[in-house]
Structure 1
Amino acid sequence: MSTDERRGSGEERDAGPGTRERIVVATSRLMQRQGYSGTGVKQIAAEAAATPGSVYHFFPGGKKELAVAAIRHGEREFADELDRCLTAAGDPAEGIVACVRALAEGMRDSGWEDGCPVASTALGVTGGVPEIRRAADAAFAHWRRLVFERLRDHGIAEDDAADLAYTVISTVEGAEMAAQVARDGAPLRIAGVHLARLIGLYASGPRA
């Protein structure tokens, strides 16, 4: 069935307000648990309480377009959590510790099924898909920018803050994967402690 036929079919009856968001959330949830290759459009539709016709109505590009939307959704979710932790703590070292603690708690509550939706989706694409790679790269860059801005505002020199932001996000991503494999929050807690110490070393030096 062509895209136009799907759009005009009765499969699109449930394409009302909120359906697109349900589809994106379902895609993000499934891909972070199963990866890109292990997730199909029919399963996404079922998880979203939608129909395949609705999925193709909102995402005529199919699974690739869904994956990009899921990555952007995951980007916003973690950016909001990261910003919340950094804002509440004031001190970026304390904010990172709070953030990794929240990540560990969320993963434990999911039965260690929920990892990073960005990494899980992007790394699960065999051979790489440019649109998905670019979306993932933009997500990591956004998170690094949030950390960089807090470090810079805390008085750390810009060059050091930029390098530290890379280190923070890369370390948290690796620790998140290790925690999921081990089904234990220790990798995240340990990463948080040492990242806080590293940030503290730079923050105690000469101000920018």
Structure 2
Amino acid sequence: MSDEKRSAEAPEPVIATRERIARAASRLMQRQGYDGTGIKQVSAEAGATLGSVYHFFPGGKLELALEALDRGNREFVDELRAVFDEEEDPAAAIALLTRRLAEGLRASDWMDGCPITTTALGASGRFPQIQAAAAEAFTRWHAQVFDRLKESGLAEDDARALAHTVISTLEGAELTAQVTRSKEPLEAAGRHLARLIDGVRGVAAGQG
């Protein structure tokens, strides 16, 4: 239904239109990247007029990309918090996370990879705002993992380095799983990251 018909029949809350546009842009950029997504496509996907898109996002495609990056950032932070709330042991939590990421990818028919990487690749070199937003996302994810590793008893330097390893491994495994259309790269990464976390903690305990 067009925006004009919606207005004629029953005015829709302003926030709903903006949310539809933001979700459509985020989904498309997660699957197609910045360069592969156009404003007209976002408009059609959201069921909104081009005028509505530019009304809510006057910065156009760049502003939509920043919105997509922010949403992807917040969604993954929520996923990290969820597994850390369910599993006190960080090794078990990361293994659980990789299983959930694998299942999410499979459920999307291997389309919905990391929204930060897909959106930012190819565009971050041309748009400093995109590079900064992507870097902020990785920094925030690292901080979530770092905090939990440190809480589990690791020294600060070990927790910081291991958190970098966790995030980098997750990113690579998710991309590999998406390309190969297989859950195994993510599930294997989860198992090995869990062993690595346990091993580092074991060494730290032995030195304590």
The one-letter code sitting in structure 2 at the alignment partner of 1:64 is L
Tell me if structure 1 keeps the 8 A contact 2:22–2:64. Answer: yes
Question: Where does residue 5 of structure 1 map in the other structure?
Answer: none
- In the alignment, is the contact (CA less than 8 A) between 2:145 and 2:163 conserved in 1? yes
Match of 2:84 in 1: 86
Equivalent in 168, 173, 177 of residue 179 of structure 1: 177
Unaligned residue ranges in structure 2 (runs of 5+) = none
SS of the equivalent of 2:111 reads coil
What is the aligned counterpart of 1:135 among 133, 136, 153?
A: 133
Match of 1:52 among 50, 53, 57: 50
Of residues 87, 102, 105 in structure 1, which corresponds to 2:103? 105
Aligned-partner Cα distance in 1 for 2:95–2:203? 21
Query: How much does 1:17 deviate?
Result: 2.2
For 1:195 and 1:55, locate their aligned partners in 2 and report how far apart those are by CA, in whole Å: 42
Opposite residue 23 of structure 1, the aligned amino acid is: I
Is residue 104–residue 188 contact of structure 1 (8 Å, CA) maintained in 2? yes
Identical-residue share of aligned pairs (%): 56
Q: TM-score, normalised by structure 1?
A: 0.90
1:38 maps to 36
Distance 2:92 2:178 in 1: 23
Count of paired positions:
197
Which shows bigger deviation, 68-77 or 40-49? 40-49
Equivalent of 2:122 in 107, 121, 124: 124
- In structure 1, runs of 5+ residues without a counterpart are 1-9
Alpha-carbon distance, 1:124 to partner: 3.3
> Which residue, out of 141, 144, 149, partners 2:142?
144
- Indicate the residue corresponding to 1:68 in structure 2: 66
TM-score normalised per structure 2: 0.90
User: Does structure 2 conserve the Cα–Cα contact (< 8 Å) formed by 1:15 and 1:54?
Assistant: no
Alpha-carbon separation, structure 2, partners of 1:127 and 1:82: 28
2-structure distance, mates of 1:206, 1:35: 42
Aligned-pair CA distance for 1:126:
7.2
What is the SS of the residue equivalent to 1:23?
helix
Given the superposition, is the C-alpha separation of residues 43 and 190 from structure 1 closer, same or farther in structure 2, using an over 3 Å criterion? same
Per-residue CA deviation, residues 103-126 of structure 1 (Å, 9 max, x unaligned), is 000000000011101000000327
Quick one: distance in 2 between partners of 1:80 and 1:183?
A: 25
Report the Cα distance in structure 1 between the residues aligned to 2:66 and 2:34, rounded to whole angstroms.
11
| Displacement of 1:48 | 1.4
SS at match of 2:15: coil
RMSD: 1.6
Q: 1:82 Cα shift? A: 1.1
For 1:50 and 1:203, how far apart are their aligned partners in 2? 52
